[in-house]
Structure 1
Amino acid sequence: MTNTLIFVDLASDDPAKAGEFYAQVFGWRNDARPHGIYHRMVPGGQFKNPDGSDSQIGNLHLGIFDAANARPHPEPAGVEPRALSTNGRKPRVWILIGDDDSADRILGTAQDLGATLLWRDHYWAEFNGYNHAFRDPWGNEIVLWGKAGASPDVPEGFSRE
């Protein structure tokens, strides 16, 4: 097998609070390992087979690390930089909206907890999906993806590309 993506980490200056944020926004388990230093967000469940049954592959996890001392690192005190990146483009994390959830609920909860709405209600024909985005309180950009399905009926008012 070729190189496999197993994890994506987000920076925070308060991993415990960021863990609570993502637990509330997405309903994920906040697995502190150790608390306040590194938090693994566990969505639970398995990737689906084409027939809708669970596969043997568990859903990917998201990590949250302390920007002041990103672990793991061979040096106990870590290395510079020790601050959150606030300027310019950063990586984005794409989250598929579950069939039992909605963009409205996710965006509303995120905003109630201090996130900034970046945009919403956009249809991207190239990948056949509805998307919306927010910036979490630590500056990380999250893009939500909703399945449009076969022959999508794009709602009035959605922008398109």
Structure 2
Amino acid sequence: MTNSLIFFDIPSDDPNAAGEFYAEVFGWENDPRPLGKYHRMVPGGFFKKKDGTDSEIGNLHMGISNVANVRPNPNPEGVEPRFIAKEGRGPRIWVLVGDDDTPERILETAEKLGAEILWRNHYWAEFNGKNHCFRDPWGNEILLWVKGGENPEIPDDYTRE
């Protein structure tokens, strides 16, 4: 068996607000464990098989850790640094937009809640996907991905690479 990615965390100085942000933007369940210290975001659903039916593998969850004391850690007081890194490139989280949602709705909601829109309407031929990107209020980049499909129609207002 290979090593498996099971979870990832993003940093926040207000995990409760970040949990509420992602619940509203994506419709994910905000599971505070415990409230304000660590929040698990549960998207629900399952990875799809090639035929479009659900597999037995649940969609990955995302954690939101409190930069003041990132858990777990053997030291109960946590360790430095205790602030959000704002300079330079950080992780980019990719989210596949579901068939029952749109990138326009997601971007509008994210911006209303304090996100910065980094770009809209870009097509990346290498992976056949339309994409859009925003930075959440805590500095994390979220890249929205829409599958191009077979013989994709790319609107004229999209940039391409």
TM-score (norm 1): 0.99
The corresponding residue for 1:116 is: 116
Which residue does the alignment assign to 2:28?
Answer: 28
- Are 1:146 and 2:146 matched, yes or no? yes
How far apart are the structure 2 equivalents of 1:91 and 1:13?
Answer: 16
Letter in 1 for 2:70: A
| Corresponding residue for residue 104 of structure 2 | 104
Q: Secondary structure at the match of 1:24?
A: helix
Q: What secondary structure sits across from 2:110 in the alignment?
A: helix
Residue 8 of structure 1: how far off its partner (Å): 1.0
Q: Determine the C-alpha separation between the residues in 2 that align with 1:92 and 1:47.
A: 20
Q: Distance in 2 between matches of 1:39 and 1:27?
A: 15
Task: Name 2:11's counterpart in structure 1.
Answer: 11
Q: Which secondary structure state, in structure 1, belongs to the residue aligned with residue 126 of structure 2?
A: helix
Report Cα offsets for 1:94-124 as digits up to 9, x if no partner: 0000000000000000000000000110000
What's the counterpart of residue 48 of structure 2?
Answer: 48
Q: Which amino acid aligns with 1:101?
A: D
Aligned residue type for 2:115: A
| In structure 2, C-alpha distance between the alignment counterparts of 1:37 and 1:86, rounded to whole Å | 20
CA distance in 2, matches of 1:125, 1:50: 21
Number of corresponding residues? 161
Q: Partners of 1:109 and 1:51 in 2: how far apart?
A: 32
Gaps of 5+ in 2: none
Superposition deviation, residue 53 in structure 1: 1.1
- TM-score, normalisation: structure 2: 0.99
Determine if the alignment matches structure 1 residue 58 to structure 2 residue 72.
no
Aligned to 2:75: 75
Deviations 1:80-99 (A, max 9, x none): 00000000001100000000
- 5+ residue gaps in structure 1? none
Deviations 1:17-60 (A, max 9, x none): 00000000000000010110000000001111111111100000
Q: Which residue of 2 aligns with 1:159?
A: 159
Q: Secondary structure at the match of 1:25?
A: helix
The answer to which of 72-81 and 45-54 deviates more is: 45-54
Match of 1:38 in 2: 38
Runs of 4+ in 1 over 3 A off after TM superposition: none
The sequence identity of aligned pairs, in percent, is 66
Residue 125 (structure 2) aligns with = 125
Once residues 91 and 17 of structure 1 are traced to their aligned partners in structure 2, the CA distance between those partners, rounded to angstroms, is: 20
Cα distance between partner residues in 1 of 2:97 and 2:135? 16
Distance across 1 between alignment mates of 2:108 and 2:8 = 24
- Residue type of the partner of 1:112? K
Cα distance in 2 for residues equivalent to 1:53 and 1:126: 26
Cα distance in 2 for residues equivalent to 1:91 and 1:10: 8
